[in-house]
Structures are given as structure tokens and as C-alpha cells.
Amino acid sequence: MKPVLILLLAVSARAGDLGGHAPAEIAPPVAPAEDRTIVLNEMWSRRLLAPDQTVWSPLDAELLGKIRTCEADALLYLKKKFGSTRPWTAPARSREPGRRLLTKEGYDKYLSLLTQDAIEYFEAKGAGAKWALKLTDWDGKRLFDGEGRLTPAGSAVYTRAKLKLEVYWRSPNGETFGTRRPPPR
């Protein structure tokens, strides 16, 4: 009887490896009401959500992260380009008086203008107009997405190139370009 019991225990221990049962998932911790309120106020301020909307999607949260990441650069770029950032910012709904936040419209404007500048730069550096949107960085990440907008990898390459730091990019046919002589393959 004991060998049969040991055999049953061994088989049941291995049953988890067979895949029939999914382990119980642990629910993510719920954010405190203050954090949710802060995020909701920020999304309203940045005009990511309509004023009567109290729930956001994962895409809204992802866009908020992108805007937060590039906000400082975007505000400097827009100010340099137009002399003011007022049309693309909104007052923060917080305790910080005078602080203005980059809105969704401001982010879209920044990304659009930066994309145009990047395309012009890469075309001037030898990427043909036909292939500029298909360039990749040294690691193979696309510089422009399917809609023709600059990706985070593209932004990094373009920024480094404009600062004349060492950076490389490739055309679809494998030709390598850069701010320095490309290393041998």
C-alpha cells in the first residue's frame, strides 16, 4: 500500500507540469484612492480623457507614460520652435501654482515636428527618401513605426546624431550609416 501512495503523490506532484491546471493568479494590489485620483486629475489636465470620463484604458496609461517621459524635451523643443508652449500645455490641477503640463495635442505636435526633422536629417545623411521610414538602429529596432512616426528607438538615434555623439543606423538593404565611420561587421 505504501508504494502505491508514494507513486500517487509523485504523479500528483508532476501534474502541475502537465499543464491541465493553471496556478491561481494573484490579483495586483489595488492602488490607493489618492493615487487613482491623482492619475485621473493628471489625465484630465493633459486632456487624455474627457472631463466626464472616470476610467482609463491601458492605451491611455501607456500614452500618459510616453508624455511624461518626453515632457521636458517636448516643452523645450516647442518653445524653441514657436517661442511659447501655451497652446500645447494646460495648467496642472495640483498644488503647484504656475506649472503647466504637456497635453495630448502638444505631444502629438511635438512628435509630428520631431518626426519631420528626423526624416529630413536621415535623408540628408544618405538615406533615400524612399527608404527613410524603413531605417533601423544598430540593434535592428525600427526608427519609424508603421504610421510614419518616430519610435522611441528612432528618437534616441536622432537625438544622439543631432548632438554629434557616436550612433549608427541601417537601411533596409543593410547599408550602415552613422555619425562616425561604422565599425567593421
In this prediction, residue 26 carries a pLDDT of 43
> By CB neighbour count within 10 A (0-12 exposed, 13-18 middle, 19+ buried), where does 160 fall?
middle
- In the 8-state DSSP scheme, what is residue 74? H
Cβ neighbours of residue 29 under 8 Å, at least 6 residues apart? none
| Domain ranges within the chain, ordered by starting residue | 125-185
| 176 — pLDDT class (breaks 50, 70, 90) | confident
Q: Which residues pair with 178 in a beta bridge?
A: 168
In this prediction, residue 159 carries a pLDDT of 92
pLDDT tens-place string over residues 50-101: 989 999 999 999 999 999 999 999 999 999 999 999 999 998 776 667 788 9
Q: Which residue has the cell 536621415?
A: 122
Element (H, E) at 98: none
Positive or negative, the Cα torsion across 81, 111, 146, 123? positive
pTM comes to 0.74
Cβ neighbours of residue 124 under 8 Å, at least 6 residues apart? none
pLDDT exceeds cutoff 60 at 21: no
